Amino acid sequence: MPNREEKRNLETIPVGSLGIIALEGCKSLGGKIDQYLVKWRTERESEHKDSLAFSGYQRPSYLLQAKVPRFGSGEAKGMILESVRGSDLYLLVDVANYSLTYSLCGQQNHMSPDDHYQDLKRIIAAVGGKARRITVIMPFLYESRQHKRTSRESLDCALALQELVRMGVDNIITFDAHDPRVQNAIPLSGFETVQPAYQFIKGLLRNKKDLQIDSQHMMVISPDEGGMSRAIYIANVLGLDMGMFYKRRDYTRIVNGRNPIVAHEFLGTSVEGKDMIIIDDMISSGDSVLEVAAALKARKARNIFVCCTFGLFTSGLDKFDKAYEKGIIDRVLTTNLIYQTPELLSRPWYINCDMSKYIAYIIDTLNHDSSISDLLNPNERIQNIVSKYKTGEL
């Protein structure tokens, strides 16, 4: 199969000179994306290379220098250190990167999602309306878990999306939004939520050699009713059966602000002897997904693979280590869209799914104002990699 960047017909005139600003929490991902773009654009032949519309098309780097220095009081300002006039700007931000710190009146403060979101707004404000177009690539959508209102509470995700649009952002690209319906808050603006289904399947097939991908030997599991559409998509594309769990809660009590889960009830056919792919949008503490894995093991499932776009691991890795030692989980796959600790990357049960090439494709295509529909629906690529796996080519 020829490289897709060679197949992509990007002969259209770029919207503007390509510029990428990777905020501090997204530097490593931004660097990888930049390498792909530099490589492709160096190799790409176009008879229009010398025309004015393509000026600055081939450069040693598309990353623009920007910083957010802080005062001793913890206040900050956004600064862009080179011209962005007429640029097609892509801002990369990881609101879940808690590893960054700043000084607050002599105390060391770890950056919260609120801090990262505020820094993003500072950089947009520093652009000052000079860019041709601004696209925010925010893989973990800020406040996406606060997406609907029950009783008197704030709708934080909707407010943030509206605020970005008011500041002049043209497109917002996120990955696996907790609930894609948040885009109803900005119905006249560009909003894409991208699924990393292909990268999960590729990561699994490259790391496990003895899988039989058919409905007799494998099943896709949704750990709750909210994530059904992800599981249905992968089950349909791979031709597998699907099962789901739902959380049975005790509505007579409230613990830590919510009704406690009594049990995870399973709906689906027999899992005995089959490999399980549990798919969800995020691992927070990991309690739910490990309870689901244990329940599947009790039903005599074979290997259990957990695929989640965002691995937050808010309660550490110990419980996953124990589950791996007991044979409850076989592998955990998450993406590099958010910060990963060195400890996570060293774990024997962990598979890292690199998304930098995929984001580079999206940026490259959008800069040429071409359609990304084929990138958003990876069915063909999934079928190709599965057939390669079955014939032993992978």
Compute the CA torsion angle 82, 87, 88, 92 (nearest 10 deg): 10
CB atoms within 10 A of CB 357: 16
pLDDT one-digit tens code per residue, 77-87: 999 999 999 99
Mean pLDDT, range 38-60, rounded to an integer:
80
Which pLDDT belongs to residue 5? 46
Which pLDDT belongs to residue 2? 43
Helix (H, G, I), strand (E, B) or coil at 300: coil
For CA atoms 62, 354, 186, 112, the dihedral sign is negative
For CA atoms 381, 200, 35, 24, the dihedral sign is positive
Query: Buried b vs exposed e over 292-310: b needs ≥16 C-beta within 10 Å?
Result: bbbbbbeeebbbbbbbbbb
pTM assigned to the model: 0.92
Phi, psi of 171 (to 5 degrees): -135, 145
- Of the pLDDT bands very low, low, confident and very high (cuts 50, 70, 90), residue 48 is low
- Of the pLDDT bands very low, low, confident and very high (cuts 50, 70, 90), residue 1 is very low
Reading the block at residue 273, the tokens are 């002897």
Q: Tell whether the model's pLDDT for residue 255 goes beyond 90.
A: no
Lowest mean pLDDT among 7-11, 201-205, 366-370: 7-11
Gap between the Cα atoms of 140 and 337, Å rounded: 7
Type of residue numbered 268:
G
Which pLDDT belongs to residue 46? 66
- Of the pLDDT bands very low, low, confident and very high (cuts 50, 70, 90), residue 53 is confident
Reading the block at residue 101, the tokens are 């710190």
Gap between the Cα atoms of 254 and 251, Å rounded: 7
For CA atoms 159, 163, 166, 169, the dihedral sign is negative
- Of the pLDDT bands very low, low, confident and very high (cuts 50, 70, 90), residue 248 is confident
- Of the pLDDT bands very low, low, confident and very high (cuts 50, 70, 90), residue 342 is very high
Helix (H, G, I), strand (E, B) or coil at 40: helix
pLDDT one-digit tens code per residue, 282-312: 999 898 899 999 999 999 999 999 999 999 9
Helix (H, G, I), strand (E, B) or coil at 221: strand
Reading the block at residue 357, the tokens are 């090439």
Beta strands 304-311 and 275-283, pairing class: parallel
Type of residue numbered 106:
G
Q: With CA atoms as reference, report the closest residue to 127 among 160, 93, 78.
A: 78
Read off the DSSP letter of residue 378: -
Average pLDDT, the chain: 91
